[in-house]
Amino acid sequence: MESLPTDHLHAVVTGGAGFVGSHLCTELVRLGHAVTCVDDFCTGSPDNVRHLAGRPGFELREADVADRLDIDRPVDLVLHLASPASPADYLRLPVHTLDAGSLGTRNALALAQRHGARFLLTSTSEVYGDPLQHPQSETYWGNVNPVGPRSVYDEAKRFAEALTTAEAAAEGVDTAIVRLFNTYGPRMRSHDGRAVPTFIRQALAGEPLTVTGDGSQTRSLTYVSDTVDGILAMAFSELSGPVNLGNDTEFTMLELARLVIELTGSASTVEFIARPTDDPAVRCPDITLARGKLRWEPLVPAREGLARTIDWFREHPGA
């Protein structure tokens, strides 16, 4: 399979009004591509793509990907991001999350098949669960509790990967899978439950930063522009994946909290609270494959990315 040309494509982005999806739509439009942004706004918002309204080739369509997805003009690329992605959201919307990973993936794949388009699934590091291998490479099968509170997201993405792989083998759909690790940046929602927006919101309000457990659990933070660049590098490649996209610099949650306090200049303190069930102890990608095959690696250091994100939250206090 030859890689896609990189000019004048029509891309359909499901979940395109969400956090990562809106940045992806913005970059595609900037590169001169036509974009149909599909979102049901269960966690995304039209405000995230309002700046694209009126741009040539851009369309925002409210729709649930769990329903049949029809596009009446030729499609070159289907980028499937639609799904609640934070614990607060997928615990609030468990069946919707499972539908997005199953029916939504099936419908997005069917759209790609009808148009002869390349299909890219944004999967997640959550497929590794609470990993017993560290760092996590794409060959690791994971350690997931299939009936735990996080399973609605973990298993939805694992099923989506299996379905994508099956459609490629059985139907000849040109597919790709990327696994995203802890992306952060502007347009996150302050109450979505993830560590970065929670810590920033609390620090800017002068509240204690609530660190779960003893704060020794680790995460690897990828600034959103790096994630978008990785998604597009994969989309325009010939690889099928899965390929990890993440930053291989680890932070403990306590280190992250202290860094946010420093960068905000806050007088906040740290407060330790109960750690959620099945919360992974470690999370760090092996990005050897992305570096070697995609010539991609994260470029934005954590201090810089967090400073940009803090500035955005200062400018959008009601986010």
The predicted pLDDT at position 277 comes to 86
167 assigned to some structural domain: yes
> What is the domain extent for residue 63?
10-183+223-246+284-299
275 assigned to some structural domain: no
The Cβ-side half-sphere exposure at 15, using a 13 Å CA radius, reads: 25
Which residue type is seen at 256? L
253 assigned to some structural domain: no
The predicted pLDDT at position 1 comes to 42
Bridge-based pairing of strands 183-184 and 222-223 is parallel
CB 34 within 8 A of CB 61: no
**Residue 153 a catalytic site member:** yes
90, 128, 153, 223: the catalytic one is 153
Task: Residue 83: give its domain's CATH number.
Answer: 3.40.50.720
Cis peptide, bond prior to residue 242, ω within 30 of zero: yes
The predicted pLDDT at position 264 comes to 97
Q: How far is CA 283 from CA 131, 144, 279, in A?
A: 7, 13, 10
35 assigned to some structural domain: yes
Per run of 10 residues, the mean pLDDT along the chain (length 319 residues) is 68 98 98 97 96 96 95 96 93 96 98 97 96 95 92 96 98 97 96 94 97 94 98 97 96 96 97 90 95 97 97 91
Nearest Cα neighbor of 60 from 81, 42, 75, 46 is 46
55 assigned to some structural domain: yes
Nearest Cα neighbor of 118 from 160, 66, 62, 176 is 176
291 assigned to some structural domain: yes
150 assigned to some structural domain: yes
Longest dimension (CA), the chain: 58
56 assigned to some structural domain: yes
Phi first, then psi, for residue 189 (nearest 5°) are -90, 135
Q: pTM score, two decimals?
A: 0.95
Total number of domains in the chain: 1
CB 184 within 8 A of CB 309: yes
Q: What is the dihedral of CA 194, 188, 229, 163, to 10 degrees?
A: 60
Contacts of 231 (CB under 8 A, 6+ apart): 24, 79, 120, 122, 178, 245
The tokens describing 289, both together, are: 């494959």
The predicted pLDDT at position 303 comes to 96
The predicted pLDDT at position 4 comes to 60
The predicted pLDDT at position 278 comes to 83
Contacts of 316 (CB under 8 A, 6+ apart): none
Task: Name the DSSP class of 49.
Answer: G
Helices (H), 86-178: 87-92, 94-99, 105-115, 151-171
Nearest Cα neighbor of 298 from 253, 260, 249, 254 is 249
CB 202 within 8 A of CB 268: yes
Three-point CA angle 219, 204, 46, nearest 5°: 75
Nearest Cα neighbor of 78 from 119, 135, 125, 121 is 119
CA–CA gap between residue 162 and residue 165 (Å, rounded): 5
